Amino acid sequence: MTGKIDITELLKKCVQCGSCILICPIYRATGQEVFSPRGKLYYLKLKDALPEKFDDGELAKDYASTIFTCAFCGRCVETCSSEVKLTDIFREQRKDTVKLFPKLMQIEENINDEMNVYGLDNEMRSESWTMELEDDFPDIEDKIYSKGKTSDIVFFVGCLMSFRSRHTNVLKSIFKVMKYIDEDYLVLGGEEFCCGHPLDLLGKVEEADELRAHNTEVFNKIKAKTIVTDCPGCLEALRDHHKIDSSVRILHLTEYFDEKIDSVPKKLNIKLKYHDPCELFRNNKVIQAPRNLMKKIGIEVIEMEPSCCGGGGMLRVTNNEIAQDIIDQRIVKEKLKEEDICVVTCCPSCLEQFEQSGITTWDIVEHLAQAISTEEEK
Ligand code: SF4
Ligand code: SF4
């Protein structure tokens, strides 16, 4: 993401070929071109030509809802041979239109006040899951950063995994694997601030940068050499938008464990359908590591179209109905209810999107933890 985008120049690049329409999950769910990438650009062209009409009123609201009806899957950018950076354009356009969405303004306020999307006391970041996991990991408190502690490895938990109980088992699995590979690490606890990714999706880059400056300072104090996260949104924010020294490695959890683990004591020998999280697959190009890791664990991957689950871009907040239509269409297309096969992924948001639609879904690391378990632990 750069500074101010020259919209007029970018619009000139679009040759209106329409290649971006059919691949867009929003277009597929609604059948309306105005919601497609090209449709959004048409609308923006109109706004560029007649800005006074879009200052407020119905047209401004309608335009805003079009710009916010996007899952930020990045598929249009990948498809466009004219290299129109559509998501950069949408992100910038969101900055001026976010004020029309009270729920989004609330999220922005939550992050600015409490440094997490939920507006909860940030000191609680690690409290709920440490209480649940202390029987399994009696030294868990030692792994939470406090002044003076240093470590080569930092595990960046992210807002979703910190506060939502579904992910406690994922955290348990991660800590179990860390123990298995005998890795010393720290998590930031109350010193972890939101990575800024949700603010990016609202076009609030400067506010996001303030949070990132804090995280970067803590990474420096810890003397981290490797930062690992399971959340693809956090990964993108850490890799591309935090000003972290280039000698520090920033890895998705699957990349990290793929490097660390060559084989497991007991292969699982199961078949699962793998959902590539858009932000991991398309934006961060982490494609092979999850597959390598699953192969080592003994998961036979049944490939699906690398398509959106509808859970990104704040779409659940701005248009829950379309977000649900997208996941419902994916479930039908991939025959997930007809075939007795579970889904596996490696993104907390995608995992919730499938599970909340009635599909049994696991994070890869939950299976990895099983594959390294002794008989008594299973
Ligand atoms: S694929 Fe690119 S050039 Fe073609 S309509 Fe979409 S944005 Fe325009
Ligand atoms: S980012 Fe994805 S959802 Fe948004 S316009 Fe592009 S293809 Fe459609």
CATH code of the domain in which 82 resides:
1.10.1060.10
Side-chain-side CA neighbours of residue 66 (13 Å): 23
| Two tokens, residue 46 | 């109109």
**What percent of the chain lies above the pLDDT cut of 70?**
97
Of the candidates 344, 262, 345, the one whose C-alpha atom is nearest the C-alpha of residue 297 is: 262
Same domain, 232 and 303: no
Same domain, 90 and 213: no
Given this model, what pLDDT does residue 96 score?
A: 85
Domain coverage including residue 355: 261-377
Question: Collapsing DSSP states into helix, strand and coil, what is residue 321?
Answer: helix
CATH code of the domain in which 371 resides:
3.40.50.1860
Q: What is the pLDDT of residues 165-203, one digit of tens each?
A: 999 999 999 999 999 999 999 999 999 999 999 999 999
Given this model, what pLDDT does residue 340 score?
A: 81
Q: Whose CA is nearest to atom 8 of ligand 1?
A: 14
Q: Is 106 touching ligand 1 by the criterion CB < 6 Å?
A: no
Given this model, what pLDDT does residue 1 score?
A: 41
Same domain, 52 and 163: no
Domain termination residue (choose one: 259, 292, 323): 259
Of the candidates 301, 292, 298, 296, the one whose C-alpha atom is nearest the C-alpha of residue 341 is: 301
Q: Whose CA is nearest to atom 2 of ligand 2?
A: 73
Same domain, 223 and 155: yes
Stretch (H or E) spanning 30: helix 25-30
107 within some domain:
no
Q: Whose CA is nearest to atom 8 of ligand 2?
A: 24
Given this model, what pLDDT does residue 57 score?
A: 86
Q: Is 73 touching ligand 2 by the criterion CB < 6 Å?
A: yes
Domain termination residue (choose one: 46, 75, 100): 100
The total of structural domains in the chain comes to: 3
Given this model, what pLDDT does residue 55 score?
A: 81
Number of H helices, E strands in the chain: 20, 7
Q: Is 254 in contact with 290 (CB distance < 8 Å)?
A: yes
Stretch (H or E) spanning 113: helix 102-114
222 within some domain:
yes
The residues of the chain scoring below 70 in pLDDT are 1-5, 374-378
Given this model, what pLDDT does residue 53 score?
A: 87
Of the candidates 63, 59, 309, 266, the one whose C-alpha atom is nearest the C-alpha of residue 180 is: 266
Same domain, 151 and 239: yes
Same domain, 158 and 241: yes
Q: Is 25 touching ligand 2 by the criterion CB < 6 Å?
A: yes
Domain termination residue (choose one: 51, 69, 100): 100
361 within some domain:
yes
Q: Which one of 11, 16, 89 would you pick to mutate in the ligand 1 pocket, going by the greatest count of ligand atoms within 8 A of its CB?
A: 16
Same domain, 265 and 346: yes
Q: Is 329 touching ligand 1 by the criterion CB < 6 Å?
A: no
Same domain, 331 and 356: yes
Report the C-alpha gap between 55 and 59 in whole angstroms.
Answer: 9
Same domain, 170 and 214: yes
Given this model, what pLDDT does residue 374 score?
A: 65
170 within some domain:
yes
145 within some domain:
yes
Same domain, 248 and 267: no
Same domain, 164 and 284: no
Q: Closest ligand 1 atom, CA of 83?
A: 2
Given this model, what pLDDT does residue 2 score?
A: 39
Q: Closest ligand 2 atom, CA of 77?
A: 6
Given this model, what pLDDT does residue 311 score?
A: 95
Same domain, 16 and 137: no
Q: How far is the CA of 170 from the centre of ligand 1 (A)?
A: 39
Q: Is 117 in contact with 198 (CB distance < 8 Å)?
A: yes
